């Protein structure tokens, strides 16, 4: 069944592209235009009913960058439900803290490289 995506959700995703956090901006500069492993990533991509930070369709990979607000009990519960929903669609979800991206981007990219390599191997 091909459902149309709520136009309001698409507009919100578009607006989020213009109000990115510092960590999202840095990560986008590293991922955009197939700069990372020649993989195409989209940012603020709608996977209804959610908007994910980064998405690679080829690998079925979702990357979420979390700020301190994700450390509250409610946010942890919400993120777990969201991850379960996305994983039920056979997507792999990885999360990094904003401060990890900003302070240790090489470590984040090494981890992401390993995950993407694993997913590429699995896809063969």
Q: Across the chain, what does the average pLDDT equal?
A: 92
Residue 2 resides in a domain: no
pLDDT 10s digits, 38-81: 999 999 999 989 999 999 999 999 999 998 776 777 888 999 99
Residue 35 resides in a domain: yes
Residue 42 resides in a domain: yes
3-state helix/strand/coil string of the chain = CCCCCCHHHHHHHHHHHCCCCHHHHHHHHHHHHHCCCCCCCEEEEEECCEEEEEEECCCCEEEEEECHHHHCHHHHHHHHHHHHHHHHCCCEEEEEEHHHHHHCHHHHHHHHHHHHHHHHHHHC
Residue 55 resides in a domain: yes
CB contact at 8 A, 65 and 21: yes
Q: Is the peptide bond before 49 cis (omega within 30 degrees of 0)?
A: yes
Provide the domain limits for residue 84.
7-123
Question: Which tokens sit at 12?
Answer: 């919100």
Question: Which tokens sit at 87?
Answer: 């994983």
- In total, how many domains does the chain have? 1
Q: Is the dihedral of CA 64, 102, 97, 104 positive or negative?
A: positive
pLDDT 10s digits, 67-76: 877 677 788 8
Residue 112 resides in a domain: yes
Residue 1 resides in a domain: no
What is the pTM for the complete model shown? 0.90
Residue 15 resides in a domain: yes
Residue 100 resides in a domain: yes
The CATH number assigned to the domain holding 88 equals 3.40.960.10
């Amino acid at each position: 069944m091909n459902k149309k995506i709520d136009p309001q959700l698409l507009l919100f995703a578009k607006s989020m592209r213009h109000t990115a956090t510092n960590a999202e901006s840095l990560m986008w500069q590293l991922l955009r235009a197939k700069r990372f492993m020649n993989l195409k990533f989209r940012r603020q991509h709608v996977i209804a009913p959610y908007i994910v930070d980064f998405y690679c369709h080829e690998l079925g990979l979702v990357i979420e960058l979390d700020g301190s607000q994700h450390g509250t009990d409610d946010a942890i519960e919400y993120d777990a439900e969201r991850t379960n929903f996305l994983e039920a669609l056979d997507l792999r979800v990885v999360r990094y803290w904003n401060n990890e991206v900003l302070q240790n981007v090489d470590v984040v990219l090494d981890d992401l490289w390993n995950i993407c390599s694993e997913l590429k191997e699995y896809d063969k």
